[in-house]
Structure 1
Amino acid sequence: MVEKIDPFIKIRRDLHLIPEVGLEEYKTRDYLLKIIQQLPQEHLEIKVDETAILVRVKGTEGNRTIGWRTDIDGLPVVEKTDLTFESTHEGRMHACGHDVHMAITLGILTHFSEHPAKDHLVFFFQPAEETVSGAKIYYDKGFLNEWMPDEFYALHVDPNRPVGTIATKEGTLFASTCDLTVDFHGIGGHAAYPQESNDMVVAASQFVNQVQTIVSRNVNPVEGAVVTLGSFHAGTTGNVISDHARIEGTIRALTKDMSYRVQKRFKEIAQGIEMTYQCKVDVDLNMYGYLPVINTPKETEAFVQFMKHRADVHYEEAGTAMTGEDFGYLLDKVPGTMFWLGVDTPYGLHHPQMSPKEEAIPFAIKTVCDFLEAKANHVLEQEKVALS
């Protein structure tokens, strides 16, 4: 007997087979468009730019526009789930749950294509969340301008919470992130004649040690920041003094200002290494569009109150996480909220065995549809007036 599965779980499995990294999501785009074009078209308008898709469901009154965003890219991870629908793209995996995000979004879009609300609804299928901030790229190039939302919403799967759980908070949900690369340039030579060389292993090692003082001695303990240097490459063999070293890492902070302060101190330490070791140090710091995800008060309060009053939702107050998400760039421009969706798996985000529980998909479709319907039909505002 053939197993009968929810159509959007089937869509998730189809998407899980074809993960693609940022700005290369062409098969993913084509699959999404095929589904979207099968929906009732009477109320739909579609825009495509490379791998980005924007779909507007025209409202019956159209006074406002409510936005929903999903990311669509995968990761350069070798999958080890042993699922029957394991990735067919070697070295690529939907290890962050974006396949789940897309399936949920298609479910929500399907509902509103058949049952339009009073306000317009815009669905942004966004590339490159994991790499170069598709949010920044497409916002800055004006892709959203014609149908710019008045409010924006998004979710992210949470492996640590049970299915049926939704969690968020007002204010900072995720940190800003800044990718960094530091190159050290000196003079190489024979290990037997160190006086004729300028060893970049030594210079870079001292830099690593000094950078550890930034958080412990330059950051207010109650504000929080993280500096991680995760990659150190230098030299080619044991008896040659290296003329070059490269360090890669990340800076994470809960505010833009704190991130900029940490970056400033980072560059000052690099300048000190240049002077001390008489070498050249090139520092490349790039936040791309990974600003903090800061949920705005009015929109978050309405979302939280809606979820708290649903019998089928277990709502939790979320803590602030040092993970990064480029939805923060959109929330820097447009008010809105991001939230966690419980998918209950023992393996964390980006793990090669990460496999969300699929029953979270129909749960999320129903819950988010109800919320957006209340929003776009002005039911939440009417309830607030009645209670005041």
Structure 2
Amino acid sequence: MGIEFRLGGQDHKKVEDFLAGHPGGVSAIVLDTKAAKHQQAAAEAAREGDVAVYFDPATERLTAPGFDLPGLAYNPPVPYDVDQLARDHRARATLVAEVVEAHPAFVTAVTPPHFFVRDERTANLNVDLAERTLHEHGPAVRATVVLTSRFPVASAAELAREYYRAGMRVVEVRISPLGGEDEGVRKVRSAFAVLQAFSDAGLTVTAGLSGNIGQVALALGHAGHYSVGIGMRERVDHAAAISRQKQPPKPPPADGSPEGGGGPIAGIYLPGAALTVSRKIGAGYLSNTDIRTRVGGCRLGACGSSVNGPANDPRGHYLHARAAEVDKLLTAPAPWRAGIEVDRLTRARELRLMINRKYRAEDGPELPVRTINSLLEDIATEREQKTA
């Protein structure tokens, strides 16, 4: 059980150094699709610490133009047609072979090709691709399932059973769109029900790219792991990703600042507020002596010598702060974990509301609390049901 970190293209040295200390709470890393061949040292540090190493083939992005994977055999000259793949077993066999071949030798399990599940047909296609990968590679396979958030729970339960019958035992489940700070309790409960359906089928489940929602799912036992990026990727929105990749890339800003161009930039994680914000906003909070210790609240690694540690080293801070939260959670007996999350989220909500009242920057956004409210309401309901 634990947290999984999804590496970006420039994260490998930071992750290698972090994992060399054998931190608790970390169960896996996922190598970057385009930069995996340069991330072997990080993978070796992970394996030395008994941390799993995965590779994300990102085939769900290859059904539309704009996402190129040069040098990888399964990079298509034209986008994949999932309907054609569903009809053509030879094309499926070729895709599986090419994706397996593209995996670096230093991963601990292979990830089958997969596509966004909107309906029964794409669900069945993904199960077939996973089963073919199992036959091609052997038992060390972890499937990725990217589901629409409107996928019925009953259908998810049947899909989970199909994966189990196909030989899968480990899956990452990403629900789209889900995450961020504006989720209602109905959507949170539906997501937890889907994760529980996969767990009930006998699968070890990772709540993919899920931030606070994933950490609560872990605490409540709906998932055995959850994943995030490093200062980013705390939510899933497949449609938005496809829309962005179709647009021409943004040029870097003329003033050379890190915000606003040239791709995503790792934000600053504020443990006290349970929130990742932009570097500009985070640095502003950390410079305010009234709230800096409550907002940052980290004394690990480089943060031990400076309250500005989260701003000075956002990625290093994100790694050790997130891992420490999960380690604390998993060190506690399972019945206590929901209470630990209630305490963490309640403090975070109070701090966000205080900032909104007294310390909000003139040009800064109001810190939202809807997702926190939804998570706290769901935890309360689940605890009542268990004691009824």
Report the TM-score, using the length of structure 2 for normalisation: 0.28
Greater strand share, structure number: 1
Greater helix share, structure number: 2
Report the TM-score, using the length of structure 1 for normalisation: 0.28
